[in-house]
Amino acid sequence: IKGVTKDVNIARISAMGVSDQPGIAFRLFSLLAKHKVSVDIILQSVGRDGTQDISFTVASKDADEVVRLLEDTLGLKSVICDPNVAKVSIVGAGMETHAGVASRMFEALGEANINIQMIATSEIKISVLIAEEEANKAVAAIHRSFYGE
């Protein structure tokens, strides 16, 4: 692990009651792309009763526009915006080949009594979405776990 980072300038958007059909994710995210909105962490629920929920993060400055776009164009049951979130990440090369890195991060957060709302991974990064007020505590807990006091 080369570093621990945080980003508090994000918001979580939850599109509730999205039609569970092929192409719906394309419609949603292409709409945002047309409006130059970048999306980060994406989580899609298992479909039920013909619908699903899709949650994702955007820059705080784009949150109101995203809510308006989704409410006006996709006929969703509801769109929920939570601006009080933070993304905390660990970054480093080769994390996918080192067993236990994610577990160690999650253990540090659990021991600090910090709830994880969403998780995203890549070859060089593991990110979690948490409550914004816990961002500094999370960074400190993760740093201690990987680097000691």
Is residue 141 predicted with pLDDT exceeding 90?
A: yes
d(CA 118, CA 49): 23
| pLDDT tens, position by position, 24-63 | 899 999 999 999 999 999 999 887 788 889 999 999 999 9
Enter the pTM of the model.
0.89
| pLDDT tens, position by position, 61-80 | 999 999 999 988 877 778 99
Q: b vs e for 54-78, b when ≥16 Cβ sit within 10 Å of the residue's Cβ?
A: bbbbbeeebbeebbebbeeebebee
* Across 95-117, average pLDDT: 90
Do the Cβ atoms of 4 and 89 come closer than 8 Å? yes
Is residue 97 predicted with pLDDT exceeding 80?
A: no
Do the Cβ atoms of 5 and 88 come closer than 8 Å? yes
Q: What are the tokens at 1?
A: 């692990």
d(CA 148, CA 1): 13
